[in-house]
Homo-oligomer: A and B are copies of this chain.
Amino acid sequence: MRLAVGAVLACAAVPPEGAAAPAGLAEILAASPAADWRAIDPDDTLYLTLPQGRVVIELAPAFAPNHVANIKRLVRAGFYDGLAVVRVQDNYVVQWGDAQSTHPTGEGRLRLKAEFDRPYGAADPFVALPDPDTYAPRTGFAGDFPAARDPALGRTWLTHCYGMVGAGRDNDADSGGGPELYAVIGQAPRQLDRNVTLVGRVIDGMELFSALPRGRGDIGFYQRPEERVPILGIKVAADVPAAQRAAFRVLKTDSPTFAAVVHNRRFRRDAWYKVATGRIDVCNLPLPVRAGP
């Protein structure tokens, strides 16, 4: 059978070439012990329902505690219900919510101090990647989110990789809070790192965002109200009856399995690849997610 380019990405059924070669990705994940996976806390999970289906977002309270708390408050107050995806800019972001915060009850008007980055201590868990990064002195994973740190600054932050979710803001750094959210649908816009508060990441249903029609207005805004994609509802998973929840587990980035995944992605060795880069970008390493408890 003729293999298409990159078939290998999911073609991990290709057997290892020898004892020294790493196993394929599918084999690595299939062999992983249950202890290497972490169930996502339903209290830090959002279900965002579009006409096309449900997007599942894992929140990142360890990096943006105040924004996450406020977004959950807004969700529980019904702030987003009846709002819409208003902007889809190709190779950049989708954006939803109410930039003007015109909600009749005044919800969404709270402005929060920026949570762009935070200090870190020597003991702070961080799974470092070994390769150079264009934008930051160190990249890796913190709490299983893609992240960076700068020892000179003593600061750490989440990185704007594909699928990351953030809180839009005005020119004032402290003008965000959650009424308007966005998700990255293109090449990682790393220039936004430390300029805007990231609050989580999409773990399921990403294609419901990324395949939306692009807006033809300035910077991808939909020009006519009828083009907007309505948000049928947003719920905190913990508020949904247990029987209706979708359980997800993510591979722990401090697990032996994840170390094997990183090695596998850095050194592609199979019948298709001719040259292994031996390198990996923090945003080119999608984090394995499994549906089911």
Contact = CB atoms under 8 A, between A and B. Distances in A.
Contacts of A124: none
Q: Is the interface of A mostly helix, strand, loop or mixed?
A: loop
A99 B276 CA distance: 24
Interface in A85-133: 87-93, 95, 99-100, 114, 116, 131-133
A206 interface: yes
- Highest count of chain B CB atoms <10 Å: which of A265, A271, A275: A275
Contact of A188 (B9, B187, B271, B272): B187
A223 interface: no
B212 A92 contact: no
A171 to B, nearest CB: 4
A226 interface: no
B132 A100 contact: no
A136 B218 CA distance: 35
A6 B93 contact: yes
A168 B4 CA distance: 5
Interface in A272-286: 272-277, 279-281, 283-284, 286
Given A2-B180, A114-B274, A186-B187, 8 more contacts: A90-B210, A161-B187, A186-B186, A187-B187, A187-B188, A188-B284, A190-B279, A191-B280
Interface of A: 2-7, 9-11, 87-93, 95, 99-100, 114, 116, 131-135, 161-163, 166-171, 173, 175, 180, 182, 186-196, 206-207, 210-214, 218-219, 265, 268, 271-277, 279-281, 283-284, 286
